[in-house]
Amino acid sequence: MSASCLKVSLDVSPKRNTIARRNAIAQYVSILFESVPRCVLQKERDCPKERECPECQQCAGGLCWNNLHCQNGAVEDDCHETCLGGCTGPGPQDCLVCKDIFVDGACTTSCPPNRFEYMGRRCVTSQQCRSIPPSDINQLKECEMESSKMKKWIPFAGRCTQGCPSGYQILDDTECVPCVGHCHKFCGEGGVLDVSSVACIQSLRECTYINGSLSIQLGAGGPTIMEELEEISVNIEEIDGFLKISRSFPLVSLNFLKNLKVIHGNQLEGNKSALIVWDNPKLERLWLWDNMSQGLEIRNGRLLFHDNPRLCMSEVDKLQNITGLSNYTNVEVARESNGDRAICNSISLNVTLSIVNSTSVLIQWSNLEYSGKQTLLGYKVHYKEAPTNVSVDDLDEESCWGDNWKVNYIMINSDLQDVNRSSETLHVIGSLKAYTRYAYFVESYTMAWEIEGVQTPIQYFTTHPYRPYIPRKFKVHPKSSSEFILSWEPPLINNGRLTHYIVAGKFCADSESSVVERDFCEQTTSPSKPKVTPPPNTLVGSPPPPVNKTCCAAEEKRICTHDDDNQQFNFIFQEGTAKPDKELCGQPSTLYSVLYSNGLFADEGGIENYQTMYGAMFNNESEDFFKVENPIGFNYTHNTTGIKAAGGTYIYFIQRVNANSLSTTLTDLRHFSEYSLKIVACRAPYENEPDDNWFRVRCSPAGLKHARTRSLYGADDINSTTVVVDIPEKWSTSVRVTWEPPLNPNGLVLNYDVVYRRTDIEHHVPIKLCVSRDRFEGLGRWVWLRNVPPGDYEVRVRAISLYGSGGFTSPIYFKSRRPEFDSTPSNLIIAFSCIGALLAFGAFDLRAQEDELIQLLTNSDTSSSSGGYFQP
């Protein structure tokens, strides 16, 4: 132990001045309470870091109780390997505590050859081992069944043990010998062994002889209680006293005691009964006598059977014949309370399965015809899920377990159904799970005293498959400017055997109207920032912030940004919503007719043949989904994988993915373009499944995602060779610039930046001109630079797209000349005429302003004298 701070938990024993403490270094040890400083915390708290605690420099090994008292003993690392918790020296005899065995004053790992390990801590001789008294049976834990004979201490295999291990038995109370055949294990001390819980059942394990009587009373048990009982009690062969089975609700038979041979009856219940079976609501049979070749012998005592409503009297009669007991009386075995709720004399009933679908089945049978005074109230149809074959042993209509049998009651001559006894009864079992195996049987419902009835054998059916659930966790990752990686997880419930997934997508053209209606030079795509005066040699109007890439109409008040590649939209389409509708970001679409076309069920994987796939697409419903506005410069061509644009990128497509794959890669997509993507899961058809409306039951609803591919580097650059500078007239100070837009930009082009500056003046501040795309196109793809003073210039142009700014073109140089004046007489006359007209117009306008001022002053005085009211 180092001098680190300790986490102290005050666990003080009143008999010892010690305290149990715990730290991160040592195991549990004891320290002197009176030596601990009184500042010990009474609750566990975080101690300071180890380096903050002072070490005991004056003590050996740096160990101390406080600043005045050192800890005695050597450092633990210097102790012998057999020591635990410190030592006083380096040898095994110096240990304070032994890890393993303490023998002859020293610690060791095992006992010497002539000794036996006792209780895992010391060694004893064989005589000392046999002299140890057996455990007191009154001190045994609850449900302990072994007799005191089995509790004797016996030297065996180097250890002093109580009883013998599995596969051995005690010989002459002194040694363990191998069993011949199977071992005999005595349980009990001559009294009654009560088994009243599942935990107590375990105490019967390997018991072969019950030394006393066995009473089983299980008030509850899980659905596997019969299997557990049979596994544990299979070795019991003899019971010295009586056997009593009472109020055991889980028991349906006594076959868990299938190797029981003899009930001696040396101890009897009420001095009379050797086998008591009383008040077991579910007990239906005693033993499977065909599997019990040894039979059952009751050497002394009688039978006592009462209140077993499902146990037919034929079972008791068979037991009486096998045991050879004399006839029982009605007091011993009451016919009125045994089998009163069971069908003991079965009458055959032919039940057939008529119609099966995914959630219900129709069964039918011919009605029973009773004679005499027998009364038929109706029928009970029992059913349950059955992945494997089942039996009626676990039948319990009142069970709390989830896998119990469900019951439908069909009453005859009721208001709901008037059954003619000579006709057939039809019954629908509903609310079933699709693609699930069920077991069912039919039982007659008679008066309690009837001894004849019907219980058909168990039959099975499997419901039809149905529509799978939607694929889960549909994700789209833009891998590059032309690829998406799609991933998903299988549906929560398949409702059939999944065969494949279908991925469909379409190109969502960016809205042209939003670009036309908005001037991106005046209305920027991001909040305005304080204007900063650029230093010399800095371009005015540096690249604007990235465009907020939105795709929704403004009136919808939704923002569908694509800055985050992992942004997800997941729409679940319920049945009945397959209609043309506004999808995300204003794209009208629906995918049902496309997803559920017969061509999608081809055997090949990959993208289906276009003619097959789209043969039934273009009806009124699917047309909306695959309607794409024709962007500028796009020419559609049809091919075998879908519809592509002239550039070889998909406009829309459908891909089939095998069910064992949970991802796919979409290629040949347009750069920085939005796609609407959907996925459905499809199952295999069942035999003779009709094709009408099959798309609503064979494939799942669609999961929806909208995603945008990554940008393509250089796609927004303008070709420098298309930039042309023109000075139309020698007398003009204006310059005209033209260029060709980017061929395939990253989305729509919003505006252009034109930057020009003088090259004949050092540190001349450039001038930037912003031109919207609509204005540029409206002027015939020309831009005028007005009032350009004479001098040498360079001009550069760049495009601003939805993604952001492209690169500037290479500089184009031009010279602006001083305007030349033409002094011909005709031009002079025109010039002087214009000057005269301007002077006359100015004089007239000045006179009009003076008249208006006088009238205004007059009206002001009038309104003041009339109480402040102005009369126009």
For the chain, what is the mean pLDDT?
73
pLDDT tens profile 484-493 = 999 999 999 9
| pLDDT given for residue 242 in this prediction | 95
**47, pLDDT greater than 80:** no
Beta strands per DSSP E along 549-613: 581-582, 588-589, 606-607
C-alpha dist (Å) from residue 799 to 24, 529, 543, 752, 770: 66, 21, 10, 5, 10
Pick the closest to residue 793 from 738, 725, 730 (CA basis). 725
Q: Could you tell me which of 702, 699, 686 has the C-alpha nearest to residue 494? A: 699
Both tokens of 46, joined, read 């975080």
Predicted confidence band at 99 (pLDDT cuts at 50, 70, 90)? confident
Q: Can you tell me the distance from the alpha carbon of 622 to that of 686, in angstroms, rounded to the nearest whole number? A: 27
Please indicate whether residue 137 or residue 576 has the higher confidence score (pLDDT). Answer: 137
Locate the DSSP E strands across 114-157.
116-118, 122-124, 153-156
CA distance 465 to 697: 8
Query: What angle (nearest 5°) sits at the alpha carbon of residue 471, between those of residues 467 and 476?
Result: 150
Residues 6+ apart with CB under 8 A from 814: 725, 727, 735, 792, 793, 794, 795
Residue 855: which H helix or E strand, with range?
helix 825-865
CATH fold, domain 345-461, is: Immunoglobulin-like (2.60.40)
Strand partners, 87: 74, 95
**pLDDT of 759 above 60:** yes
Q: Which residue has the higher pLDDT, 348 or 293?
A: 348
User: Across residues 735-740, what is the average pLDDT?
Assistant: 94
Single-letter amino acid, residue 693: N
Q: pLDDT (tens digit, 9 = 90+) per residue, 795-812?
A: 999 999 999 999 999 999
Q: Scan for tokens 């005589």, then name that residue.
A: 127
Amino acid at 694: W
Rounded distance, CA 625 to CA 623, Å? 6
- For CA atoms 99, 103, 108, 110, the dihedral sign is negative
pLDDT of residue 708: 95
Using CA atoms, how far apart are residues 334 and 303, in angstroms rounded to an integer? Answer: 11
**Cα→Cα distances 259→225, 233, 295, 667, Å:** 18, 9, 9, 70
- What fold, for 184-342? 24 nucleotide stem-loop, u2 snrnp hairpin iv. U2 a'; Chain A (3.80.20)
| Residue listed under structure tokens 């038995």 | 169
To 5 degrees, how large is the angle CA 770–CA 772–CA 776? 105
Confidence of residue 820 (pLDDT cuts 50, 70, 90): low
Single-letter amino acid, residue 770: C
What is the pLDDT, as a whole number, of residue 757?
Answer: 94
User: Helix, strand or coil for residue 457?
Assistant: coil
For the cut 70, the answer to whether the pLDDT of residue 690 exceeds it is yes
H-helix or E-strand spanning residue 176: strand 175-178
Say how many Å lie between the first and final Cα of the chain, rounded.
104
Evaluate if residue 345 carries a pLDDT over 50: yes
Name the CATH code of domain 472-526+547-708 (choices 1.10.3720.10, 2.60.40.10, 3.30.70.20, 1.20.272.10).
2.60.40.10
3-state secondary structure of 231: helix
Tokens of 268: 């009897």
pLDDT, tens only, 611-651? 333 333 333 333 343 333 333 333 433 333 568 887 788 88
- Where in 4-158 does DSSP place strands (E)? 7-12, 18-22, 29-32, 83-87, 95-98, 101-103, 106-108, 116-118, 122-124, 153-156
Half-sphere CA count of 842, side-chain side, radius 13 A: 6
Task: Collect all residues with Cβ–Cβ distance below 8 Å to 489 and sequence separation of at least 6.
Answer: 471, 472, 473, 662
**360, two tokens:** 């219900």
> Which SS3 state, helix, strand or coil, does residue 378 take?
strand
What pLDDT is attached to residue 634?
A: 37
Is 355 in a helix, a strand, or coil?
Answer: strand
pLDDT at site 663: 94
What is the per-residue pLDDT for 481? 94
Asked if pLDDT for residue 599 goes beyond 50, the answer is no
DSSP run (H or E) holding 326: none
Gyration radius from the chain CA atoms: 49
Cβ atoms within 10 Å of 49's Cβ, excluding its own: 9
Q: What is the mean pLDDT of residues 389-403?
A: 62
Residue type, position 616, single letter? A
Kindly report which listed range (66-80, 280-294, 443-457) carries the lowest average pLDDT score.
66-80
Q: Which of 334, 292, 290, 288 lies closest to 313 in space, CA to CA?
A: 334
DSSP 119: T
- The count of other CB atoms within 10 Å of the CB of residue 349 is 19
Q: What angle do CA 604, 606, 612 make, to 5 degrees?
A: 70
Residue 797 to residue 810: CA distance in whole angstroms: 8
For CA atoms 622, 623, 629, 635, the dihedral sign is positive
In percent, the amount of the chain with pLDDT more than 70 equals: 64
* The token pair that represents 575 in the structure block: 């049945």
Q: Given a cut of 70, is residue 608 above it in pLDDT?
A: no
- Average pLDDT for 512-525: 74
Burial readout 386-413 (b: 16 or more C-beta within 10 A, e: otherwise): beeebebebbbeeeeeeebbeeeebebe
Helix extents (H) in 703-824 = 773-778
pLDDT, average across residues 424-428: 89
pLDDT for 677 beyond 90: yes
Is residue 646 within 8 A of residue 631, CB to CB? The reply is: no
| Backbone phi and psi for residue 287, each to the nearest 5 degrees, phi listed first | -125, 155
Q: How far apart are CA 282 and CA 468, in angstroms?
A: 39
Beta bridge partners of 657: 501
SS3 content of the chain, % helix, strand, coil (to 5): 15, 30, 55
Chain-centroid distance, C-alpha 361 = 32
Instruction: Say yes or no: do domains 184-342 and 720-816 share a fold.
Output: no
Angle 75-79-83 (CA atoms, 0-180°, nearest 5)?
120
Tell me the C-alpha distance between 573 and 703, whole Å.
8
Say whether 346 sits in a helix, a strand or coil.
Answer: strand
Please tell me the distance from the alpha carbon of residue 510 to that of residue 746, in angstroms, as a whole number. 11
pLDDT of residue 689: 86
Q: Of 415-424, 599-608, 840-849, which one has max mean pLDDT?
A: 840-849
Tell me the per-residue pLDDT of 660-674, one tens digit each, with 9 for 90 and over: 999 999 999 999 999
Residue 751 has pLDDT above 90, yes or no: yes
Rounded mean pLDDT, 252-269: 91
What would the mean pLDDT of 321-328 be, rounded to a whole number?
Answer: 87
Kindly state the greatest CA–CA separation across the chain. Answer: 156
How many helices (H) and strands (E) the chain has is answered by 11, 51
User: Average pLDDT of 4-8?
Assistant: 38
- CATH number of the domain at 98-182, out of 2.10.220.10, 3.40.50.300, 3.40.50.11740, 3.40.47.10? 2.10.220.10
pTM of the model: 0.56
pLDDT, tens digit (0-9, with 9 covering 90-100), for 429-474: 999 999 999 999 998 877 655 556 788 889 999 999 999 999 999 9
Model confidence at 819: pLDDT above 50: yes
CA distances 512 to 447, 553, 703, 749, 800, Å, are 81, 11, 28, 10, 15
pLDDT for the residue numbered 411 = 84
H/E stretch holding 593: helix 592-595
Write down the pLDDT at residue 516: 72
Q: What is the pLDDT of residue 252?
A: 87
Tokens of 480: 């590059």
pLDDT at 196: 83
- The DSSP letter of residue 682 is E
Q: Is the dihedral of CA 449, 378, 452, 394 positive or negative?
A: negative
Domain 720-816 has CATH 3.40.50.300: no
- Domain residue extents for the chain: 1-89, 98-182, 184-342, 345-461, 472-526+547-708, 720-816, 828-872
Residues shown for the chain:
872
Lowest mean pLDDT among 65-79, 722-736, 842-856: 842-856
Cβ 752 vs Cβ 798: under 8 Å = yes
pLDDT at 303 over 70: yes
* CB-based contact 101:108 (threshold 8 Å): yes
For CA atoms 755, 759, 760, 766, give the dihedral sign: positive
Q: Is 811 helix (H, G, I), strand (E, B) or coil?
A: coil
* Contacts of 288 by beta carbon, 8 Å cutoff, 6+ apart: 253, 255, 258
Give the helix/strand (H/E) hosting 20. strand 18-22
Range of lowest pLDDT (45-54, 125-134, 306-315, 569-578): 569-578
Please give the pLDDT value at position 495: 94
